[in-house]
């Protein structure tokens, strides 16, 4: 499991590292990509928990999850990643749409 509020930041930032701290780009490089690769090596699912933050810029989520899809492909990401968001269930659909390229 990857819990963004604990493993990365409870106040995720904007899209790019140049935009400021705790960006979607940094999250992808530092945590999401390595954890995805580890899950794939171990033939496991990766649960990404979006709860307990102060919210998300759509650009943060877009950068992180579109980068994942671009690098590993839609089908691989859909087969391997699950999104949890009890705080804002609409984020689950939003992230899944990003992964699917919508």
CA distance 82 to 87: 16
Report the run of H or E that residue 47 belongs to, with start and end.
Answer: strand 46-49
Is the pLDDT at 102 greater than 80? The verdict is: no
CA 8 to chain centre: 11
Structural domain count, the chain: 1
Residue 60 confidence (pLDDT): 98
Concatenated DSSP letters of 24-91: HHHHIIIIIHHHHHHHHHTT--EEEE--SSS---HHHHHHHHHHHHHHH-HHHHHHHEEEE-SS-THH
Residue 69 confidence (pLDDT): 97
Q: Which tens digit of pLDDT belongs to each residue from 33-77? A: 999 999 999 999 999 999 999 999 999 999 999 999 999 999 999
Question: How would residue 87 be classed by pLDDT, with cut points 50, 70 and 90?
Answer: very high
Residue 101 confidence (pLDDT): 86
pTM of this prediction?
A: 0.96
Report the run of H or E that residue 95 belongs to, with start and end.
Answer: helix 90-99
Residue count of the chain, please give it.
102
Query: What residue numbers bound the domain in which 79 lies?
Result: 2-99
Residue that wins the pLDDT comparison between 52 and 102: 52
């Amino acid at each position: 499991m990857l819990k963004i509020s604990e493993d990365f930041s409870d106040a995720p930032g904007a899209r790019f590292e140049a935009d400021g701290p705790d960006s979607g780009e940094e999250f992808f490089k530092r945590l999401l990509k390595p954890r995805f690769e580890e899950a794939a090596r171990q033939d496991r699912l990766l649960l990404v928990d979006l709860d307990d933050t102060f919210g998300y810029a759509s650009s943060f989520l877009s950068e992180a999850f579109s980068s994942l899809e671009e690098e590993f492909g839609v089908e691989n990401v859909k087969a391997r990643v699950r999104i949890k968001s009890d705080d804002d269930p609409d984020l689950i659909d939003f992230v899944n749409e990003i992964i699917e390229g919508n």
